Amino acid sequence: MELLAVIFSLFSVILTVKNSKYCWPVGIIGIIFYTIIFFQTGLMGNFILQFLFVVQSLLGWYNWNKKDATKIDWLQNRLKLLFLPVLYAIVVIFTIKSGSTLPYLDSITTTLSITAMFLIAYRKIEGWLFWIAVDSVSIYMFYILGLYLSSFIYFIFLILATSGLIKWIKNYEKEV
């Protein structure tokens, strides 16, 4: 199960780095497998996050398929990110009450993942910065849970997120 989650998630991230609209349906398959894994390992924040990821993936797929699809850009109003501490507090309360195995790490990855996914769905470069943070924390979190394959793939995701950040910045600079 973990191998399938890793394979589909890896292909999804590679397609995202390449700015391909097919990243979204491939990602949904990986999300389904990770939903099961996170439930089994007691990461309740990440478990619930997968349902939101499906919705966000559908939103991203819709946005990236529009005739006038948004071009890669920087977030114009960074004040919108002020909601993060509030979102984090809500997620911490949920993960603690739901009996999450690692409530604070689970909350960090959940909160930042929600933000990263929305930013990428709208082709905002900052999304990659959030994915870099998520991947860094996830490597450690999965390792201590014994999910070594997931820990390894999140190391690969970290490299891909860094690559995505560089490629999207270059793409943006070409268009400006």
Which is nearest to 109 in space by CA: 81, 128, 132, 93? Answer: 132
The pair of structure tokens assigned to 132 is 């870099």
- Per the confidence metrics, is the pTM higher than 0.95? no
> Above 70 in pLDDT, residue 119?
yes
- pLDDT tens per residue across span 51-78: 999 999 999 999 899 876 668 899 888 7
Q: How many domains does the chain have?
A: 1
Q: Chain-centre distance of CA 68, in angstroms?
A: 24
Task: Give the range of the structural domain holding residue 122, as residue numbers without chain letter.
Answer: 2-175
CB burial class (10 A; 0-12, 13-18, 19+) of residue 38? buried
* Phi, psi dihedrals of residue 73, rounded to the nearest 5°: -160, 170
Q: What is the mean pLDDT of residues 26-50?
A: 92
166 has pLDDT over 70: yes
Please tell me the distance from the alpha carbon of residue 7 to that of residue 44, in angstroms, as a whole number.
22
Region of poorest pLDDT, from 11-25, 64-78, 85-99, 123-137: 64-78
